[in-house]
Amino acid sequence: MNKMIWGKIIVAGSCVALTNISYAENFKRFSVSAGWMHVMPQGKANPFNINSVVDPNKENGYGIGSISQQAFLGSIDPDAQLYTGENALDFLPLTFERPGIGNQSLAQMLGALENNDASDDQSYLSNINASTAGSAQLKGIDQWTAQDTGLEAKNVDTLGLTFNYYLNDHVSLQFIGGIPPKVDIKGKGEIVANMTGEAMPQGDIAMLFPDGILDLAQDIPITNLGNKKRASSVRAWTPAMEVQYQFGQSGVNKFRPFVGAGIMYAYFNEIKLDSTIKQDLVNAGHMIQNILDDKAGAALDGEVSSADPKVRVKTTDAIAPLVTLGATYDINENWFGIASLSYAKLSNRANIDVIDKNTGNKLIRSSTKIDIDPLITYVGVGYRF
């Protein structure tokens, strides 16, 4: 009796084992799927690091040349001092009292000196000429970090495609691709050059300032990234490869969760910069070239320089680790539904240069790290064969 029972148990166990082996041997080697892919970048903006070819230690400084009265006054450090006789006084709000004359602005004072007529309120100059303006040592526009600025990728949708090759019923190699989406890049903050330095005026004007030196300090706006709908757009190519492990068994479990890990490669092209930002950077290129040409006054007045600036934008390629959690659901022997959530620790660098087309010189070099770090959801339908 016992022998008969043990015999039945052995036979039954053998049948189950043979059935499982049969399922394992009959799994499909290949599968493909297509569906909706939604990419949600999680990274935050990083500040721009900016360099220009202005040398803050240039011997004798840069020539100022002709400069408008408004630009001249706007460049003066609010804490600078002015001689008005025996005493040195702060001249904010650029008015002071002269004995026997009354209140006068700095502009009127300069005009009075130039025209030797201290009593004529209308005698101030519309421009300070090159021989009077002298030269200046300029700092702060050679290199700086623009805090609270940067670039952030926005959410995007595209058609996703996957291809799996199964090594066995549980382990597969998956290639992830799709139609490369056009990604909008949002700008953050305003880029401002905090210029400082010392001007060395010539002639009678020099006598107005202690030791003939006028302290300079001016915040020069370069471009506003944050007030644009988008700072730029790019085409993103992000193929990925994963090793996946799928739980359950083919032909037994309709619902089969899986986990995966692999790498993502990112390449970006078709980069288009906002036209207003692009023009602002061209204007900044003219400013730098005017300084190099010893026309710092023209630089502050926003005049066109001898350069022909162009803007070049490049991004670096990147490789990032990728992890995935998902599941498939068998509709029948061949067709299945799939859903997954992936995360990639992805970042790259954007380099924006302003180059003089006449000489090839880089007038301005700027760079920022873009942390993309996307969460990627995928919902699709697949076929096994």
- Looking at every residue in the chain, the average pLDDT score rounds to 85
Instruction: Give the residue extent of every domain in the chain.
Output: 28-47+147-189+225-384
Longest dimension (CA), the chain: 134
* pTM exceeds cut of 0.85: no
pLDDT tens, position by position, 334-356: 999 999 999 999 999 999 999 99
117 or 245, which is more confident: 245
Both tokens assigned to 314: 């490049």
Fold that domain 28-47+147-189+225-384 belongs to in CATH: Porin (2.40.160)
pLDDT tens, position by position, 88-111: 444 433 444 444 444 455 545 554
Whole-angstrom distance, CA of residue 323 vs CA of residue 285: 44
> Can you tell me the mean pLDDT for 313-317?
96
In the chain the first and final C-alpha atoms are separated, in Å, by 48
pLDDT tens, position by position, 15-55: 433 344 444 457 789 999 999 999 999 999 999 999 999 99
pLDDT tens, position by position, 136-175: 999 999 999 999 999 999 999 999 999 999 999 999 999 9
